[in-house]
Amino acid sequence: MICPKCLSEIPDDSSFCDQCGFKLLVCPSCGKPGTGKYCKVDNTRMIEKGAALFEKKFFKTERNPKAGGKVYLLLNNKNLNINIKIETGGVIGRKSEISLKELGEFKQISSKHALIEFKTGGGWFVTDLNSTNGTKINNNPLEAMKPAQIKPGDTLTLANIEFFVSQ
């Protein structure tokens, strides 16, 4: 792989250029690396190469400077007796490590349905990962691959399974 910033050759599995330190970005649609916010090939928003979408790893837990501890998000569906505590962010779905046990039986939820991540200073965000049956916040459908903020008191719907969001 060639670093798009300094043009040095680097290992294909790199998340950062080991020559210039540039955090590698890739297009989730075409897979091409780039330096801007949007792909020059198809205008899709670029994401970090090491993101959970590509390497099945979770985002590191960020610290809340005010609380001095871990941040987390709770998803609750009382009717189905599902409680999911998200501490580090990552991919949620039928076959993801965050919610495999809780969501594994729901075929309408994609195996890798949505990305949930915490951004310091910005709060929690949900990104639909081109799921088959969609993702909604407060009954508003999300556009695939575009992060949307989620906060306590909201409802998050994965396919047709609704969760109450709290912290």
Q: Dump pLDDT digits (tens) for 51-100.
A: 534 333 333 333 333 444 567 899 999 999 999 998 877 889 998 877 77
Phi then psi for 82, rounded to 5 degrees?
Answer: -110, 125
Does the structure show a pLDDT above 90 at 133? yes
DSSP code string of the chain: -B-TTT--B--TT-SB-TTT-PBPEE-TTT--EESSSB-TTT-PBPEETTSHHHH--PPPPPB-TTT-SB--EEEEETTTTEEEEESS-EEESTTSTTTHHHHTT-TTS-TT-EEEEEETTTEEEEEE-S-SS-EEETTEEPPTT--EEE-TT-EEEETTEEEEEE-
* Residue ranges, CATH 2.60.200.20, the chain: 73-166
Does the structure show a pLDDT above 90 at 101? no
What percentage of the chain reaches a pLDDT higher than 70?
85
Report field, pTM of the whole predicted structure over 0.95:
no
- Neighbouring CB atoms inside 10 A of 73's CB total 23
One of 3.20.20.70, 2.60.200.20, 3.30.70.1450, 3.40.50.80 is the CATH number of 73-166, namely 2.60.200.20
Q: Which of 13, 41, 14, 11 is nearest to 28 (CA)?
A: 41
What's the token pair of residue 111?
Answer: 């195996």
